[in-house]
């Protein structure tokens, strides 16, 4: 059986490896941002709960706190580790050690392309959750500030 001529195999494999690295870096960046949102949500919940206990109830604090809690939950969901696809090295060795190099490279390339597609879906989900967490956090902050302004009579009240 003759081996197919695959002159671009290494070039394509290099590009796929680069794409996997970019996806992993993006996922780590999203995790960092989710951690920041989680921290701000926690602070806002703490401050809002303290302020709510000290002032009359306008309803805005409660709604703001609910949005802050929602932002925290969404950030945690975005931050949760997910199982990213990896090549099972031992299985690769056991099944393909004696297979011709070009055939193994092609199989690895196809496997890594599938892994990129799967990881891309996970990163997109993480990004959507983070976006929702940011919207919830911004809404929470606005509602808590509005509640404070209502209770204190506005920014010019002395």
The token pair at 129 is: 């959750």
| Chain CA centroid to CA 95, Å | 35
Delimit the domains of the chain by residue range.
Answer: 26-152
Residue-wise pLDDT tens digits, 13-67: 999 999 999 999 999 999 999 999 999 999 988 887 777 666 666 788 889 899 9
Q: Give DSSP secondary structure letters for 19-76.
A: HHHHHHHHHHHHHHHHHHHHHHHHHHHHHHHHHHHHS---SHHHHHHHHHHHHHHHHH
Q: What is the CA radius of gyration of the chain?
A: 25
Using an 8 Å Cβ cutoff, are 130 and 33 in contact? yes
Q: With pLDDT > 90 as the criterion, what percentage of the chain qualifies?
A: 54
User: Of the candidates 40, 35, 41, which has an alpha carbon nearest to the alpha carbon of residue 67?
Assistant: 41
């Amino acid at each position: 059986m003759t081996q197919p001529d695959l002159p671009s195999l290494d070039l394509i494999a290099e590009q796929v490896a680069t794409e996997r690295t970019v996806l992993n870096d993006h996922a780590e960046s999203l995790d960092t941002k989710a951690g920041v949102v989680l921290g701000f949500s926690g602070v806002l919940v703490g401050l809002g709960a303290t302020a709510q206990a000290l002032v009359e109830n306008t309803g805005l604090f409660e709604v703001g706190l609910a949005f802050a809690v929602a932002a925290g939950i969404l950030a945690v969901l975005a931050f949760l580790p997910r199982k990213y696809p990896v090549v099972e090295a031992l299985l690769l060795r056991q099944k393909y050690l004696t297979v011709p190099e070009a055939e193994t490279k092609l199989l690895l390339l196809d496997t890594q392309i599938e892994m990129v597609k799967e990881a891309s879906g996970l990163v997109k989900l993480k990004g959507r959750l983070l976006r929702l967490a940011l919207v919830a956090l911004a809404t929470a902050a606005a509602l808590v500030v509005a509640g404070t302004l209502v209770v204190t009579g506005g920014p010019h009240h002395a």
